[in-house]
Structure 1
Amino acid sequence: MDENLLAAYRAAAYRVRLRQGGWATIRIDAPLPTALVAVAGERPWGFITAWNPHSQVRSSGWNRKVQHRLLITLRDLPSTQRVCAGVGTGMGWKEPSLFVIGPDTASLDTVARNFEQNAYVHGYRDGIALLRLL
């Protein structure tokens, strides 16, 4: 993977919309924020998008369609407990994303590959947020 792209993934802020309002921000190699620990509980979690497959910019209309398909796909996984709105932000970019609780990495790997993503963020319970490269 291109080192600049990898650095952009690592520097990004992965924000999750909270039910009570506001946002919690996930950072790679940092513990899951306390507000999200309460949501994830003892389950695995992931932060994933369908926007801009293989980090190639697509139109907003196209991205919205595939993001909706991703939401349906995640909800249909038997292990999914909850899906929350999110957004990944970096230097000059912003991508709507989803914080999903329940699916393990094998399931999320399959979903990410099907939506042609290079990587996603994941973790388990209150552990460290990890960047998973595909």
Structure 2
Amino acid sequence: MDEELLKAYCRSAYRVRLRTGGTAIIRIGEPLPVALRELANNRDWGFFTAWNPRSRPQSPATNRATQRRLLADLRADASLDIHPALGKGTDGWREPSFWIVGIAPDALERLGDRYGQNAWLVGHGAGAAELRLR
């Protein structure tokens, strides 16, 4: 992976929309924000998008269609708690995403394969967010 792309992932803010309004920001290497800890409890979680596979820009229509397929895949598992989210870089990059509670790291890896993603975040409970690379 390109070193600049890796740096961009690490500098990004991974925003989760709160049901009470506002957002909580997940950052790589930092503990889960307090506002999300009760939701995560003692479960695995991930931050994932289907936008721009392999970090190659796609049309908005293609990205929206792929993201809808991802949401349908996630909703097929009733045990998952799915929250709207947004990955936001320091250079203007933005990708609608999902914060998914109850998803195992290996399930995220399968999604990474299916949707052609270079990277995603994983975590457990209140622990630190980790960047997983393809």
CA distance in 2: counterparts of 1:130 and 1:77, whole angstroms: 23
- SS of 2:30 mapped into structure 1: coil
After superposition, where does 1:81-92 map in structure 2 within 5 Å? Answer: 82-90=81-89, 91-92=91-92
User: Residues 29-85 of structure 1: CA distance to partner in whole angstroms, max 9, x if unpaired?
Assistant: 0000001111111110000000000000000011000001111111223642x1000
CA distance in 2: counterparts of 1:37 and 1:112, whole angstroms: 25
Letter in 1 for 2:86: V
| TM-score normalised by the chain length of structure 1 | 0.96
User: Conserved in 2, the CA contact under 8 Å of 1:77 and 1:103?
Assistant: no
**Runs in 1 of length 4+ with deviation above 3 angstroms?**
none
After superposition, where does 1:12-51 map in structure 2 within 5 Å? Answer: 12-51=12-51
User: Conserved in 2, the CA contact under 8 Å of 1:48 and 1:97?
Assistant: yes
- SS of 1:96 mapped into structure 2: strand
After superposition, where does 1:103-118 map in structure 2 within 5 Å? Answer: 103-118=103-118
Structure 2: which 5+ residue stretches go unaligned? Answer: none
CA distance in 1: counterparts of 2:103 and 2:94, whole angstroms: 24
CA distance in 1: counterparts of 2:5 and 2:64, whole angstroms: 23
CA distance in 1: counterparts of 2:86 and 2:103, whole angstroms: 19
CA distance in 2: counterparts of 1:78 and 1:104, whole angstroms: 14
Percent identity reads 48
Aligned residues: 133
CA distance in 2: counterparts of 1:30 and 1:63, whole angstroms: 29
CA distance in 1: counterparts of 2:101 and 2:76, whole angstroms: 13
In structure 1, the partner of 2:102 is 102
In structure 2, the partner of 1:128 is 128
